[in-house]
Amino acid sequence: MQKNKIVLIRHGQSIWNELNKFTGWHDIELSEKGKNEAKNAAMLLKQNKFSFDYAYTSVLKRAIYTLRYILDILNEHWIIVKKSWHLNERHYGALEGLNKDEIIQKYGEKQVMLWRRSFNVIPPQINMQDERFPGHDLRYSHLNISDIPLGESLEMTSKRVIPYWNKVIYPQLKNNKKILIVAHGNSLRALMQHLNQIDNQDIIKLNIPTAAPIILEFDQKNSFIQWYYLK
């Protein structure tokens, strides 16, 4: 039976990943390791003869640049690329830019794990005057102020990721298009939870590594079957 496939990739390591900081919507460059991770992911896709018609990514450059490295090695810069804030990482609110180990020392490992991986626990929020508020960024100027987050749980992230999947990406799968999604740990966790129907308690166990291609398989009726890491 023929199977349709979508490839998911979390961006390569960023400079703030390397420094163990909460990143969220802050627009951070890839580290040297992250650039190499992106290139290695691309080589793995090339070796397995993957090609694409559409690519989707966030509006954050660590994902955009990861995608560019992949398309460069696949020689597919000509395909349709769509960028959307709906695929951004979750906004970590007042935690953004802070060191994770220092936050663990202050609040405890259990609380920090809930902020990082749980479904509905919201991190401490910022206010609109905070320089980390995305409303100050030109790329979000088209959004209603009420749609711009002050800090998000995974549940809140899902409420922008899943509608985008349903309305924009999934229809292209039904049109038999070959699709690549390069996004972030939590936007991809939200999609994985939706497709795999992972319980809100169990989602805390799911961590997606940087630049490790995930293959989603769908049957001829475009129903989700399974997922696995490409090796």
Q: Is 12 annotated as a binding residue?
A: yes
pLDDT at 2: 58
Amino acid at 85: W
Q: Give the C-alpha separation, 158 to 163, whole Å.
A: 8
CA of 78: how far to CAs of 47, 52, 68, 75, 132, in Å? 20, 10, 11, 8, 34
Q: Where are the domains of the chain?
A: 4-92+153-229
Q: Is 9 annotated as a binding residue?
A: no
Hey, what are 227's tokens? 């997922």
pLDDT at 3: 76
Short-list 59, 47, 35, CA closest to 187: 59
Hey, what are 98's tokens? 């802070």
Judge whether 89 counts as a catalytic residue. yes
Q: Give the C-alpha separation, 22 to 83, whole Å.
A: 22
Q: Is 16 annotated as a binding residue?
A: yes
CATH-assigned architecture of domain 4-92+153-229: 3-Layer(aba) Sandwich (3.40)
Hey, what are 110's tokens? 């259990």
pLDDT at 196: 96
pLDDT at 162: 98
Q: Give the C-alpha separation, 17 to 24, whole Å.
A: 11
Task: Give the global pTM.
Answer: 0.96
Judge whether 11 counts as a catalytic residue. yes
pLDDT at 76: 97
Q: Give the C-alpha separation, 94 to 116, whole Å.
A: 13
**Mean per-residue pLDDT pooled into runs of 10, the chain (231 residues):** 86 97 97 98 98 98 98 97 98 96 95 94 96 95 95 97 98 96 98 96 95 96 96 91
Catalytic residue among 37, 76, 89, 96: 89
